[in-house]
Amino acid sequence: MAGISRRAALLGSGAVLGVLGQRYLGARLPDLAGTGPVLGPAVPPTLNDASGLSKTPIAKHVTLTEDPGEALVVALRAELAEAAAENRPVNIGAARHSMGGQAIPRDGTAITLDSRFLQADPDKGLYRVQAGVRWREVITALDPLNLSPKVMQSNNDFGVAATFCVNAHGWPVSHGPMGSTVRRIRLMLADGSLITCSRGENPEIFAATMGGYGLTGLITELTVEAAANRRLVPTFEDMPGDAFAERFVDALAEGAVDMAYGRLNVDRTRFFEDALMITYRPDPDQTGLTPAAGSGLVSRASRYLFRAQLGNERVKSLRWGVETRIGTRLTGPVMRNSLINEPVITLDDRDPARTDILHEYFVSPGEFPAFLDACREVIPRSYQELLNITLRYVAADTESVLSFAPVPRIAAVMLFSQEMTRRAEADMKRMTQDLIDRIIDIGGTYYLPYRLHARPDQFNWAYPRASEFAARKRLIDPDLRFRNALWDTYLEGM
Ligand SMILES: Cc1cc2nc3c(=O)[nH]c(=O)nc-3n(C[C@H](O)[C@H](O)[C@H](O)COP(=O)(O)OP(=O)(O)OC[C@H]3O[C@@H](n4cnc5c(N)ncnc54)[C@H](O)[C@@H]3O)c2cc1C
Residue 395 has pLDDT above 90, yes or no: yes
- Across the strands, what pairs with 128? 119, 223
Contact 236, 324 (CB under 8 A): yes
Q: Assign 318 a pLDDT band (cuts: 50, 70, 90).
A: confident
Cα separation, 277 vs 376, in Å, equals 20
Query: If you average pLDDT over residues 76-102, what whole number do you get?
Result: 98
Atom of ligand 1 nearest to the CA of 218: 42
pLDDT at 310: 87
Cα separation, 314 vs 447, in Å, equals 31
Backbone φ and ψ for 15, nearest 5 degrees, come out as -60, -20
Distance 95 CA to ligand 1 centre (A): 7
Residue 387 has pLDDT above 70, yes or no: yes
The finding on whether 400 has its CB within 6 A of some atom of ligand 1 is no
Query: If you average pLDDT over residues 395-407, what whole number do you get?
Result: 98
Atom of ligand 1 nearest to the CA of 164: 34
Dump pLDDT digits (tens) for 441-492. Answer: 999 999 999 999 999 999 999 999 999 999 999 999 999 999 999 999 999 9
Cα separation, 22 vs 53, in Å, equals 14
Residue 416 CA to its chain's centroid (Å): 15
Backbone φ and ψ for 255, nearest 5 degrees, come out as 95, -15
Q: Assign 40 a pLDDT band (cuts: 50, 70, 90).
A: low
Distance 159 CA to ligand 1 centre (A): 7
Q: Give whichever of 139-143, 313-317, 324-328 has the largest mean pLDDT.
A: 139-143
Indicate if the alpha-carbon torsion angle 251, 253, 259, 262 is positive or negative.
Answer: positive
SS3 414: strand
Overall fold of domain 231-456: Alpha-Beta Plaits (3.30.70)
Residue 32 has pLDDT above 90, yes or no: no
Distance 313 CA to ligand 1 centre (A): 31
Report CA Rg, the chain: 22
Mutation choice for ligand 1 from 97, 346, 487, CB with most ligand atoms inside 8 A: 97
**CA distance from start to end of the chain:** 36
The yes/no answer on whether domain 118-228 falls in CATH 1.20.140.160 is no
Q: What is the DSSP string of 52-118?
A: S---EE-SEEEEE-PPTTHHHHHHHHHHHHHHHHTT--EEEESS---SSSTT--TTSEEEEE----E
Distance 166 CA to ligand 1 centre (A): 6
Q: Which residues contact 203 (CB under 8 A, 6 or more apart)?
A: 197
Cα separation, 6 vs 1, in Å, equals 11
The finding on whether 415 has its CB within 6 A of some atom of ligand 1 is no
What does the domain layout of the chain look like in residue ranges? 118-228, 231-456
Contact 156, 338 (CB under 8 A): no
Contact 227, 219 (CB under 8 A): no
Single-letter amino acid, residue 359: H
pLDDT at 325: 78
Dump pLDDT digits (tens) for 217-256. Answer: 999 999 999 999 999 999 999 999 999 999 999 999 999 9
The finding on whether 355 has its CB within 6 A of some atom of ligand 1 is no
Indicate if the alpha-carbon torsion angle 23, 28, 33, 36 is positive or negative.
Answer: positive
Cα separation, 192 vs 448, in Å, equals 27
Dump pLDDT digits (tens) for 113-133. Answer: 999 999 999 999 999 999 999
Q: Assign 30 a pLDDT band (cuts: 50, 70, 90).
A: very low
The angle, 0 to 180 degrees and rounded to 10, between the axes of the packed helices 368-378 and 422-441 is: 150
pLDDT at 298: 64
The finding on whether 484 has its CB within 6 A of some atom of ligand 1 is yes
Q: Are strands 218-228 and 182-188 parallel, antiparallel or unpaired?
A: antiparallel
- Average pLDDT of every residue of the chain: 90
Cα separation, 429 vs 357, in Å, equals 11
Atom of ligand 1 nearest to the CA of 213: 49
pLDDT at 304: 78
The finding on whether 151 has its CB within 6 A of some atom of ligand 1 is no
Contact 345, 299 (CB under 8 A): no
Closest Cα to residue 119, out of 69, 188, 78? 69
Mutation choice for ligand 1 from 23, 58, 166, 299, CB with most ligand atoms inside 8 A: 166
Which one has a higher pLDDT value, 348 or 39?
348
What element of type H or E holds 431? helix 422-441
The finding on whether 161 has its CB within 6 A of some atom of ligand 1 is yes
Distance 285 CA to ligand 1 centre (A): 36
Indicate if the alpha-carbon torsion angle 31, 35, 40, 43 is positive or negative.
Answer: negative
The finding on whether 131 has its CB within 6 A of some atom of ligand 1 is yes
DSSP alpha helices (H): ranges in 181-312? 203-209, 244-253, 297-308
Contact 101, 449 (CB under 8 A): no
The finding on whether 169 has its CB within 6 A of some atom of ligand 1 is yes
Dump pLDDT digits (tens) for 173-219. Answer: 999 999 999 999 999 999 999 999 999 999 999 999 999 999 999 99
Query: If you average pLDDT over residues 421-434, what whole number do you get?
Result: 97
Q: Assign 17 a pLDDT band (cuts: 50, 70, 90).
A: very low
DSSP character at residue 159: B
Q: Which of 18-22, 425-429, 480-484 has the lowest mean pLDDT?
A: 18-22
pLDDT at 299: 67
pLDDT at 296: 63
The finding on whether 94 has its CB within 6 A of some atom of ligand 1 is yes
pTM of the full structure = 0.92
**Residue percentage of the chain with pLDDT more than 90:** 81
Contact 221, 159 (CB under 8 A): no
Q: Assign 345 a pLDDT band (cuts: 50, 70, 90).
A: confident
The angle, 0 to 180 degrees and rounded to 10, between the axes of the packed helices 313-321 and 297-308 is: 150
